[in-house]
Amino acid sequence: MCADAAGDGLRVNLPLRGLEVASSSVQTMLADAAHQFALAEMRPAGAALDRLPADAVIAAGSLFWVVQRKFAGFGISPTTLRNLPAEEGAELQSILFEELGWGDAGLAISLGAGMLPTTVALLLGRPEFARRWEGKGLGAWGITEPDHGTDMLDPTHQISDSGHARGRPNCVATVTDGQLCINGQKSAWVSNGPVATHCILFCAYGNGPGSGNCVVYVPLDAPGISRGAPLDKLGQRALPQGEIFFDNVRIPLDCLACPPEEYSRAVYLTLTHANAGMGAVFVGVARAAYEHALAYAHERKQDGVPIIGHQNVRYRLFHMFRKIECARALNRRVMRYNAVNEQQPALQGSIASKITSTQTAFEVASDALQIFGGAGLAREYPMEKLLRDARASLIEDGCNEVLAIKGGSYLFDPARLGK
Ligand SMILES: Cc1cc2nc3c(=O)[nH]c(=O)nc-3n(C[C@H](O)[C@H](O)[C@H](O)COP(=O)(O)OP(=O)(O)OC[C@H]3O[C@@H](n4cnc5c(N)ncnc54)[C@H](O)[C@@H]3O)c2cc1C
């Protein structure tokens, strides 16, 4: 046993976010407020929503709506973050989403996806869409389709098997009588799909061969739009997901935010932002699992001995701590780099952060569950939910193995091959 494990008097009690030094008082204030919100609102709401059928999550008056309303009251928006100096805004964003993820992964993703149309409008240099939607309703990103998953995140075909003919799109926008006309559907995985008020839609443009893709801002109350039933799924159950169907949906031509020639860049910028956000959220999920395990290891007495007295438990906890510190450091770094280099952010950095954080969250949640022993499997404890939430993240926003191939493609420089 190890009564003397930290008995040299040199043990440092680290703050919530570990080895981080707050760089400004604004940062400390926002971080504290976000943590309180995550603790008081998101944790209990996420746990309660996790147990509900998918349609009850979005029913009028559910805790899902309470969290959305209270978060809106915070007054944090893509525009407020962008109005700060680049590095400061990036750090705040990273801290904010870590805290939201710590509160509840599904709700954090819902809040992030809700703001994505505004963020993308700013990234694409179309602030008129940001002005139109910011602070009004809930957004969604419609990109994947029933017949197109991760390949939709790869319009330049860096990851796919080039030996096959491409499948047909499931959702197409055409120009008809001076308006955009949209037909088809997006996949059942669109976050906020069943409840969003507006959507940034990435879809095919025109029916002809080689006509490309486009980005369109779609108000989801337009005639001809319908939704699928909210999806029942393994983890992140507080996040409503479902199809959006388009039946001859007519919207003004000026809702076209990006023509085919700029489409690859739009996907690049959006994925760069979204993957970095995932990186922050899943640092928070990993931290939540680690904190539960650390507390339990002190509380649980087996045969009269607190289990943290066992060297193997301390060894396991240390590796959990180490992985979280690495994932957090990488996320802060990537967010800062991309904010400072806004015109040419590094997608490989965002992918590295998304994969590192989500893999860390999954491994740490699994290790934390192991430390809980049998109790880890019981729904009475938080571990099984955290493991389910983390598992979904390995697929969300692009499957990790496929994203790694895409990230690797940006390391390849044909000019270095020689003749
Ligand atoms: C929680 C969650 C939230 C989501 N939110 C949204 C959203 O807001 N909007 C939206 O549009 N979509 C969303 N998605 C969809 C998500 O982006 C896709 O599920 C993801 O891109 C994977 O697509 P898929 O499920 O069709 O799998 P597929 O692309 O069919 O891939 C299945 C498997 O095949 C393998 N594979 C596929 N391609 C390759 C390749 N080139 N090389 C090697 N292996 C390969 C991989 O192992 C992969 O896991 C969400 C998904 C989840 C789980």
| Topology of domain 25-137, CATH | Butyryl-Coa Dehydrogenase, subunit A; domain 1 (1.10.540)
| CB distance 395 to ligand 1 below 6 Å | yes
- The token duo for 55 is 């349609």
- Confidence class for position 5, pLDDT limits 50, 70, 90: low
Shortest-distance Cα residue to atom 15 of ligand 1: 189
The strand pair at 139-142 and 198-205 is best described as parallel
| CB distance 402 to ligand 1 below 6 Å | yes
What pLDDT score was predicted for residue 346? 98
pLDDT at 235 over 80: yes
- Residue owning tokens 């994969």: 355
What are the tens digits of pLDDT across the range 134-183? 888 999 999 999 999 999 999 988 887 667 777 899 999 999 999 999 99
| CB distance 149 to ligand 1 below 6 Å | yes
Give residue limits of the domains in the chain. 25-137, 141-262, 264-412
| CB distance 282 to ligand 1 below 6 Å | no
Lowest average pLDDT, out of 2-6, 234-238, 347-351, goes to: 2-6
Distance from the CA of 400 to the center of ligand 1, in angstroms?
9
Shortest-distance Cα residue to atom 1 of ligand 1: 396
Domain 141-262 grouped into CATH 1.10.10.60: no
What are the tens digits of pLDDT across the range 260-317? 999 999 999 999 999 999 999 999 999 999 999 999 999 999 999 999 999 999 999 9
| CB distance 236 to ligand 1 below 6 Å | yes
Task: Output the pTM of the full model.
Answer: 0.97
| CB distance 358 to ligand 1 below 6 Å | no
- Which atom in ligand 1 lies closest to the alpha carbon of residue 152? 21
- Confidence class for position 209, pLDDT limits 50, 70, 90: low
- Residue owning tokens 């940062």: 27
Distance from the CA of 243 to the center of ligand 1, in angstroms?
15
What are the tens digits of pLDDT across the range 374-408? 999 999 999 999 999 999 999 999 999 999 999 99
| CB distance 293 to ligand 1 below 6 Å | no
Q: Under a CB-based contact definition with an 8 Å cutoff, are residues 42 and 66 in contact? A: no
**Residue 61 CB neighbours (<10 A):** 7
pLDDT at 4 over 60: no
What pLDDT score was predicted for residue 1? 47
The strand pair at 244-252 and 256-258 is best described as unpaired
Distance from the CA of 390 to the center of ligand 1, in angstroms?
15
What are the tens digits of pLDDT across the range 29-62? 989 999 999 999 999 999 999 999 999 999 999 9
| CB distance 398 to ligand 1 below 6 Å | yes
| Topology of domain 264-412, CATH | Butyryl-CoA Dehydrogenase, subunit A; domain 3 (1.20.140)
pLDDT at 327 over 80: yes
Q: What does the pLDDT average to over 11-40?
A: 91
- The token duo for 351 is 């992918």
Q: What does the pLDDT average to over 188-202?
A: 98
Among candidates 11, 7, 16, which has minimal Cα distance to 38? 16
What are the tens digits of pLDDT across the range 65-111? 999 999 999 888 898 988 999 999 999 999 999 999 999 999 999 99
Distance from the CA of 151 to the center of ligand 1, in angstroms?
8
Shortest-distance Cα residue to atom 23 of ligand 1: 149
What pLDDT score was predicted for residue 179? 96
What pLDDT score was predicted for residue 135? 84
